[in-house]
Amino acid sequence: MAATALKEQLNGLVNSMFAEGLLDEQFQQLQMLQDGSNPGFVAEVVTLFCEDSERILADLTKLMDQAVVDYSKVDAYVHQLKGSSSSVGTQNVKLACIQFRQFCEENNQEGCMRALNVVKHEYYHLRSKFETMLQLENRIQAYETKQQN
- Does 70 contact another protein by CB under 8 A? no
Which residue's CB is nearer to another protein, number 72 or number 145? Answer: 72
Cα separation of 80 and 19, whole Å? Answer: 25
Which residue's CB is nearer to another protein, number 32 or number 142? Answer: 32
Cα separation of 31 and 11, whole Å? Answer: 12
**90 CB-near residues (< 8 Å, 6+ apart):** 22, 23, 24, 27, 49, 126
How many Å is the maximal CA-CA distance in the chain?
61
- Does 5 contact another protein by CB under 8 A? no
Distances (CA, A) of 108 to 67, 73, 95: 14, 14, 18
Q: Are 74 and 58 in contact (CB under 8 A)?
A: no
Cα separation of 117 and 139, whole Å? Answer: 33
- Does 69 contact another protein by CB under 8 A? no
- Does 119 contact another protein by CB under 8 A? no
- Does 41 contact another protein by CB under 8 A? yes
Minimum CB–partner distance for residue 93 and another protein (Å): 12
- Does 30 contact another protein by CB under 8 A? yes
Candidate list 8, 15, 20, 44; residue touching another protein; CB under 8 A: 44
Which residue's CB is nearer to another protein, number 45 or number 116? Answer: 45
Q: Which residues are near another protein by CB under 8 A?
A: 26, 29-30, 32-33, 38, 41, 44-45, 48-49, 52, 76, 79-80, 82-84, 86-88
